[in-house]
Amino acid sequence: MRYRYSCIMVLLLLCASACKIQNKDKPDKRKVTAEELISVNRYMVGKDASVIKKYAEENNYNMLETETGLWYQIDKAGDGEYADNGDVVKIAYDIYLLDGTPCYSSDSLGYRSFKVGQGGVEAGLEEGILLMQKGAKATFIMPPHRAHGLVGDDDKIPGRSILLYKVELVDLKKNK
């Protein structure tokens, strides 16, 4: 019994050491340089921008693009003040995937309120709100890096989704 146990242990040790020797000869495929990651990221951002531009043209949107990649169109000008960081805003919204699939709506979930510049909402939404006056309506198209990123929201928004937002700035409380 002891002999059998010793033989099994020796075999296991030999297998383990053989695996280590084999792995030393293979290059580590998991190592990716920062330059490669930056290159892939630029490619993905560029690809997303192409998809958004095509979608906007096909749907007759007259959109502008910010430096960060948010696409926006003011559909109805407001008559109040513009939002600033630190202001508390209340918005009505509809969020869709680009294929038209509805994700979320204030009609079913209620208005959304947040303090601009404090995080906790999509970066593209905060950026877009800063382009609006109280009472304005706008359409935003957010690439993944300005919305829910690589992973989505674990509910209705899949990872790497480009999102269409229809937003109305219902109320604005200025930070004094």
Alpha helices in 26-162, H assignment, sequence order: 34-58, 106-109, 123-129
Q: How many domains does the chain have?
A: 1
Cβ-contact 71, 65 below 8 angstroms: yes
Cβ-contact 162, 143 below 8 angstroms: yes
Q: Is residue 136 part of a domain?
A: yes
Q: Is residue 50 part of a domain?
A: no
Q: Is residue 118 part of a domain?
A: yes
Cβ-contact 171, 87 below 8 angstroms: no
Q: Which amino acid is at 78?
A: G
Q: Which parts of the chain are beta strand (E)?
A: 64-65, 71-76, 88-97, 102-105, 112-115, 137-142, 163-173
Cβ-contact 143, 159 below 8 angstroms: no
Q: Is residue 100 part of a domain?
A: yes
Q: Is residue 17 part of a domain?
A: no
Q: Is residue 22 part of a domain?
A: no
CATH number for the domain harbouring residue 89 = 3.10.50.40
The pLDDT tens digits of the residues spanning 66-114 come to 999 999 999 999 998 999 999 999 999 999 999 999 999 999 999 999 9
Residue listed under structure tokens 């309506």 = 137
The pLDDT tens digits of the residues spanning 126-174 come to 999 999 999 999 999 999 999 999 899 989 999 999 999 999 999 999 9
- The domain of 121 spans 63-173
Q: What percent of the chain has pLDDT over 90?
A: 72
> Of 143, 105, 136, whose CA–CA distance to 122 is shortest?
143
Give the C-alpha distances (Å, rounded to integers) separating 37 from 26, 158, 160.
Answer: 22, 22, 16
Q: Is residue 79 part of a domain?
A: yes
The pLDDT tens digits of the residues spanning 18-48 come to 555 455 555 556 677 888 888 888 999 999 9
Q: Taking the mean position of all CA atoms in its chain, how far away is CA 76? A: 26
Q: Is residue 90 part of a domain?
A: yes
